[in-house]
Amino acid sequence: MFSRFKEKLNGFKEALSSKIAEKVSQAEKLAGKKDDDKAIESQAKALPAADKNAAQVKSPAPDGASSGASPTKPSVFPEKTTEANNKPKSRFSFLEKAKSLIFEQEVILEEKDLEEPMWALEMALMESDVALPVAEEIVREVKSNLVGMKRKIGADTGAIAEQSLRNALLTLLSRNYLDFDEYIKSKEKPVKILFVGVNGTGKTTSIAKVARYLMNQSYSVVLAAGDTFRAGAIEQLEVHGNSLGLKVVKHKTGGDPAAVIFDAVEYAKAHNKDVVLADTAGRLHTNINLMDQMRKIVRVTKPDLLIFVDEAIAGNDAVERARLFNESVPIDGSILTKTDADAKGGSAISIAYITGKPVLFLGIGQTYPDLVKFEPEWLVDRLMGEAEA
């Protein structure tokens, strides 16, 4: 899942890491130079008068320096304070100390430092099928996270890149969030949910998965065989109905889908059922007749939730189709199927932003339990490689 997305992000991480490394080495050089000067100065102060000239420092000799005794080492280890090992050791430990001081310092990331990493990030997002306006928004967000950020020089630069992108993705994905469970709980029953989308994207399978998901929460469910167009579609839904033990309201192939769904709602009312899940035929957004038919179904049945279903692997195409369906009849949310086979992740990131409507579920396989309620953290953990599906 999302293997290519992770791979593409490496370019951004590397660009940011090398920029921070560059700033660190500049800071170290600067600090090293200052500390070297101080080292020479302070050693010269401590050296006997004879060595002082060699160090070419004009500071006055300390009292007793001319006696030839070594003043540079504390007297707790007198056996080791020979003239031979004293000088290099004191200089070494001084540099060690200087180094640790450098590590206490911070570098500050400026806007001009981020040009290259941000370009790498935008490219990585675009190559992962993230829609352009969404990629730009993420880059803006990551940049504003990083500019002015003070970083301890010893900090893990890979983690900085990850964290800033993680935050940006979480902000973006949380924007249109809708809690499906809360929605169903609070809504007057029966809740009417209509599933629409192009052919073969997983509408019927998702209906069966959502039915099982709701049954696990003790809701009673009715299925409406609203795909009266494709041969075998009614039977396909009946197979799911049988395996889940659910009533399937159906008419003949070629019948009016709005009438089937209307009947299913009447059945639900008469039998105190909680939720009606209505299937529809797959249709291309370019098919004017079928799009007109969809508008009629929505007008007549007045669904509480109109859910657009598409497959994550379709990338930008899925996002574009969602946009066009939403323009034709305003959708209330999306389900992205086949996320298990999606290497890029772009549609999952973009679809809610582009439609302004939440992603409700992700399909992650072909069996009933392979449905995940959409949570921004869940997706980001998988996009960023911290968890497997």
Ligand X SMILES: Nc1nc2c(ncn2[C@@H]2O[C@H](COP(=O)(O)OP(=O)(O)OP(=O)(O)O)[C@@H](O)[C@H]2O)c(=O)[nH]1
Which positions touch Mg ion (CB under 5 A)? Answer: 203-204
Is the CB of 48 or the CB of 202 nearer to ligand X? Answer: 202
**AA identity, residue 378:** W
Q: Name which of ligand X, Mg ion, none residue 363 binds, using a CB cut-off of 5 to 8 Å depending on partner kind.
A: ligand X
User: Cα–Cα–Cα angle for 293, 298, 304, nearest 5°?
Assistant: 155
Is the CB of 153 or the CB of 211 nearer to Mg ion? Answer: 211
Is the CB of 205 or the CB of 334 nearer to ligand X? Answer: 205
Is the CB of 8 or the CB of 240 nearer to Mg ion? Answer: 240
Instruction: For residue 163, give every residue at least 6 positions away whose Cβ sits within 8 Å of its Cβ, in sequence order, or none.
Output: none
Q: Which of 297, 50, 40, 319 has the alpha carbon at shortest distance from 192?
A: 297
Q: Name which of ligand X, Mg ion, none residue 337 binds, using a CB cut-off of 5 to 8 Å depending on partner kind.
A: ligand X
Q: Distance (Å, rounded) from C-alpha 191 to C-alpha 184? A: 7
Cβ atoms 207, 190 nearer than 8 A: no
Q: Name which of Mg ion, ligand X, none residue 306 binds, using a CB cut-off of 5 to 8 Å depending on partner kind.
A: none
Is the CB of 142 or the CB of 297 nearer to ligand X? Answer: 297
Is the CB of 121 or the CB of 314 nearer to Mg ion? Answer: 314
Q: Name which of Mg ion, ligand X, none residue 201 binds, using a CB cut-off of 5 to 8 Å depending on partner kind.
A: ligand X
Peptide bond into 48 cis (omega under 30): no
Q: Distance (Å, rounded) from C-alpha 174 to C-alpha 170? A: 6
Q: Name which of ligand X, Mg ion, none residue 365 binds, using a CB cut-off of 5 to 8 Å depending on partner kind.
A: ligand X
Q: Name which of ligand X, Mg ion, none residue 28 binds, using a CB cut-off of 5 to 8 Å depending on partner kind.
A: none
Q: How far is the CB of 279 from Mg ion (least distance, A)?
A: 6
Q: How far is the CB of 158 from ligand X (least distance, A)?
A: 32
DSSP characters over 48-82: -HHHHHHHT--PPPPTTGGG----SS-TTSGGG--
Q: How far is the CB of 318 from ligand X (least distance, A)?
A: 12
Q: Distance (Å, rounded) from C-alpha 188 to C-alpha 316? A: 36
Is the CB of 190 or the CB of 363 nearer to ligand X? Answer: 363
Instruction: For residue 293, give every residue at least 6 positions away whose Cβ sits within 8 Å of its Cβ, in sequence order, or none.
Output: 257, 283
Question: How far apart, in Å, are the Cα atoms of 28 and each of 16, 91, 99, 156, 274?
Answer: 18, 17, 8, 17, 67
In 3-state terms, what secondary structure has residue 128? coil
Is the CB of 43 or the CB of 204 nearer to Mg ion? Answer: 204
Q: Name which of Mg ion, ligand X, none residue 205 binds, using a CB cut-off of 5 to 8 Å depending on partner kind.
A: ligand X
What strand order describes the sheet that includes 221-224?
A: 247-249, 221-224, 275-278, 191-196, 305-311, 333-337, 359-363, 371-373
Q: How far is the CB of 328 from ligand X (least distance, A)?
A: 17
Cβ atoms 20, 152 nearer than 8 A: no
Give contact residues for ligand X (rule: CB under 6 A). 197, 199-205, 227, 230, 233, 282, 337-338, 340-341, 363-366, 370
Is the CB of 25 or the CB of 366 nearer to ligand X? Answer: 366
Q: Name which of ligand X, Mg ion, none residue 257 binds, using a CB cut-off of 5 to 8 Å depending on partner kind.
A: none
Q: How far is the CB of 344 from ligand X (least distance, A)?
A: 15
Q: How far is the CB of 194 from Mg ion (least distance, A)?
A: 13
Peptide bond into 190 cis (omega under 30): yes
**AA identity, residue 271:** H
Q: How far is the CB of 349 from ligand X (least distance, A)?
A: 17
**DSSP conformational letter for 123:** H
Q: How far is the CB of 367 from ligand X (least distance, A)?
A: 9
Q: Name which of ligand X, Mg ion, none residue 200 binds, using a CB cut-off of 5 to 8 Å depending on partner kind.
A: ligand X
Q: How far is the CB of 369 from ligand X (least distance, A)?
A: 11
Please state, as a whole number, how many other Cβ atoms lie within 10 Å of the Cβ of residue 353. 19
Q: Distance (Å, rounded) from C-alpha 319 to C-alpha 327? A: 12
